[in-house]
């Protein structure tokens, strides 16, 4: 009898042990689940916070973060997830989210009261002095497949219009800073502590630069158009429906930024033989990630692939694109009305300028070299239209530039006209 009772009691103990194990396991899963929820909520708060247009970065947030960390470390995860601890945690997270919702937009330069705006304006001069004191700042560094290295820098300076911020790709040399690409950055209405983080400044595609001038010259030669051109041919009508641009060499992706602003139907293909330059354009110059595309004919070819000599301060078309077969291919894809635009920077080297121009004139029916800056920077624009040069058709080209200025809100026509007078 006793043996049978023992046999019956033993399974009961085993059942109790199994039940306890299940409960312990369940409690463990519950704790892990709560921990996962807490981590997820924390990450969500942080993501939401840093995606604000202008999140506040003051000492209050540091105090909140330190308080949460101290509480978790001091009391331990087990106590936090007890009944009272959970309630406190939920209340704390609710307060953090509410504070972000209230404080974030308040310091976003919008919906500010006069008192808040005046307070930020008082602190602004010190922040601007902080930005300009140690300018330029290095944001990143990369090297191409040939071993040449470049750095991405951001610089700040005061102009008559206020603070100006620029982001550049420069050749890595100790004594010379030669820019491969440059964009202007949007200047906020009020500079706050948020803007001390240089990566938070965004590209301003509306600010005029040499790339916008380059695109304007394509409109000047009627390679691209906002409306019906003077030529009523079938090719011209088709051009207005979908205009095609081929860019060779990204140059930091600044030209595509301007092209995306144009109020026309545009198809754009970009060829960048250097992967490092492509990655840099995506990371620091707001260049979008796009799938490959190929067209057979183009209304415009923008050639930015350059061979650079920083020590001599010169930049010219890469030799591989100066080969006869490549030049013939570019001329062919442009057809009879397309325009090629090439950037050249050869300070005080007129002979080199003339040599490059003669090379292009051997493959295109007309070419014009336009000065864009007093330091020797020029654009060479070519087409397959006989005699369609700046010297021969200056008035017509100025009309086209004035139309570009009217649509884009720029003043390029008088600017180029002043720098490129025609000798009578």
* Element housing 278 (H / E): helix 275-284
pLDDT at 302 over 60: yes
Higher model confidence: residue 391 or residue 283? 391
pLDDT at residue 30, rounded to an integer: 55
84 vs 413, more confident: 413
Lowest mean pLDDT among 93-107, 286-300, 386-400: 93-107
Q: Who wins on pLDDT, 72 or 265?
A: 265
Determine the pLDDT at residue 249.
Answer: 73
Strands annotated E in 338-409: 339-346, 366-371, 377-383
User: How far is Cα 165 from Cα 155, in angstroms, rounded to an integer?
Assistant: 6
Please determine, for residue 304, whether its predicted confidence score (pLDDT) is greater than 60. yes
Q: Is the pLDDT of residue 110 over 90?
A: no
Q: Determine the average pLDDT of the residues in 215-223.
A: 90
Average the pLDDT over 263-285 and give the result.
71
Angle between helices 394-408 and 210-220 (to 10 degrees): 130
Predicted confidence at residue 402, as pLDDT, reads 93
* Fold of the 210-419 domain: Rossmann fold (3.40.50)
- Which of 18-27, 187-196, 375-384 is predicted with the least confidence, judged by mean pLDDT? 18-27
pLDDT given for residue 314 in this prediction: 44
> Among candidates 259, 165, 247, which has minimal Cα distance to 206?
259
pLDDT of residue 281: 66
Q: Please list, residue by residue across 112-126, b when 16 or more beta carbons sit within 10 angstroms of its beta carbon and e when fewer do.
A: beeeeeeebeeebee
Tell me the HSE value of 166 on the side-chain side, using a 13 A CA sphere. 18
Q: Which of 171, 128, 178, 115 is nearest to 148 (CA)?
A: 171
Average the pLDDT over each of 6-20, 35-49, 218-232, 272-286 and give the range with the smallest value: 6-20
Average pLDDT over residues 153-168: 85
Residues 254, 182 contacting (CB under 8 angstroms): yes
Of 32-46, 112-126, 260-274, 301-315, the one with minimum mean pLDDT is 301-315
pLDDT at 401: 92
The more confident residue out of 305 and 311 is 305
More confident residue, 102 or 267: 267
294-308, 334-348, 368-382: which has the minimum mean pLDDT? 294-308
DSSP string, 137-202: EEEEEEE-TTS-EEEEEEEEEEETTEEEEEEEEEE--SS---EEEEEEBPPPSS--GGGGSGGG--
Which range, of 18-32, 157-171, 358-372, averages the lowest pLDDT? 18-32
- In this structure, what token pair is assigned to residue 203? 């590209």
Domain borders along the chain are 2-106, 133-200, 210-419
As a whole number, mean pLDDT of residues 32-57 equals 56
For the residues 223-250, what does the mean pLDDT come to? 64
**CB count in 10 Å sphere of residue 208:** 16
Confidence of residue 273 (pLDDT cuts 50, 70, 90): low
Q: What per-residue confidence (pLDDT) applies to 388? A: 92
DSSP SS3 for 287: coil
Rounded to whole angstroms, the Cα distance separating 124 from 193 reads: 9
Mean pLDDT (the chain) is 71
Confidence of residue 229 (pLDDT cuts 50, 70, 90): very low
What average pLDDT does the segment 2-22 reach? 55
Prediction pTM value:
0.56
CA 50 to chain centre: 18
Contact 364, 358 (CB under 8 A): no
The stretch 120-125 carries a mean pLDDT of 84
Inter-residue long-range contacts of 58-66, CB under 8 Å, 24+ positions, other chains counted: 58/193, 60/103, 64/96, 64/99
pLDDT surpasses 50 at 333 = yes
């Amino acid at each position: 009898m006793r043996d049978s009772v023992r046999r019956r009691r033993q399974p009961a103990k085993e059942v109790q042990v199994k039940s306890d194990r299940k409960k312990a396991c369940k409690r463990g899963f519950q704790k892990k689940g709560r921990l996962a929820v807490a981590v997820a909520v924390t990450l969500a708060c942080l993501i939401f916070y840093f995606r604000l247009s202008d999140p506040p970065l003051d000492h209050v947030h540091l105090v909140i973060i330190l308080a949460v960390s101290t509480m978790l470390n001091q009391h331990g995860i087990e106590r936090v997830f007890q009944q009272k601890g959970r309630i406190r945690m939920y209340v704390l997270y609710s307060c953090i989210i509410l504070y972000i919702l209230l404080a974030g937009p308040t310091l976003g330069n919008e919906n500010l009261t006069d008192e808040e705006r005046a307070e930020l304006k008082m602190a602004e001069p010190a922040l601007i002095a902080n930005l300009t004191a140690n300018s330029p700042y290095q944001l990143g560094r990369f090297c191409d497949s040939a071993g040449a290295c470049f750095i991405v820098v951001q610089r700040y300076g005061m102009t008559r219009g206020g603070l100006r911020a620029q982001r550049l790709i420069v050749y890595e040399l100790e004594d010379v800073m030669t820019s491969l690409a440059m964009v202007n950055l949007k200047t906020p209405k009020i500079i706050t502590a948020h803007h001390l983080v240089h990566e938070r400044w965004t590209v301003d595609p509306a600010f005029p630069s040499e790339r916008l001038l380059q695109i304007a010259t394509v409109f000047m030669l009627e390679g691209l158009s906002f409306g019906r051109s003077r030529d009523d041919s079938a090719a011209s009508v088709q051009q207005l429906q979908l205009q095609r641009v081929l860019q060779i060499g990204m140059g930091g992706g600044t030209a595509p930024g301007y092209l995306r602003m144009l109020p026309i139907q545009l198809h754009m293909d970009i060829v960048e033989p250097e992967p490092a330059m492509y990655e840099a354009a995506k990371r620091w110059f707001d260049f979008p990630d796009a799938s490959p595309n190929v067209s057979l004919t183009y209304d415009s070819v923008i050639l930015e692939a350059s061979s650079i000599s920083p020590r001599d301060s010169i930049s010219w078309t890469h030799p591989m694109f100066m080969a006869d077969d490549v030049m013939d291919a570019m001329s062919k894809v442009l057809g009879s009305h397309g325009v090629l635009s090439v950037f050249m920077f050869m300070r005080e080297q007129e002979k080199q300028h003339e040599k490059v121009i003669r090379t292009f004139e051997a493959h295109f029916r007309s070419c014009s070299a336009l000065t864009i800056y007093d330091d020797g920077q020029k654009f060479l624009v070519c087409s397959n239209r006989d005699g369609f040069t700046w010297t021969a058709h200056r008035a017509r080209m100025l009309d086209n530039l004035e139309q570009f200025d009217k649509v884009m809100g720029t003043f390029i026509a008088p600017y180029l006209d002043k720098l490129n007078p025609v000798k009578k």
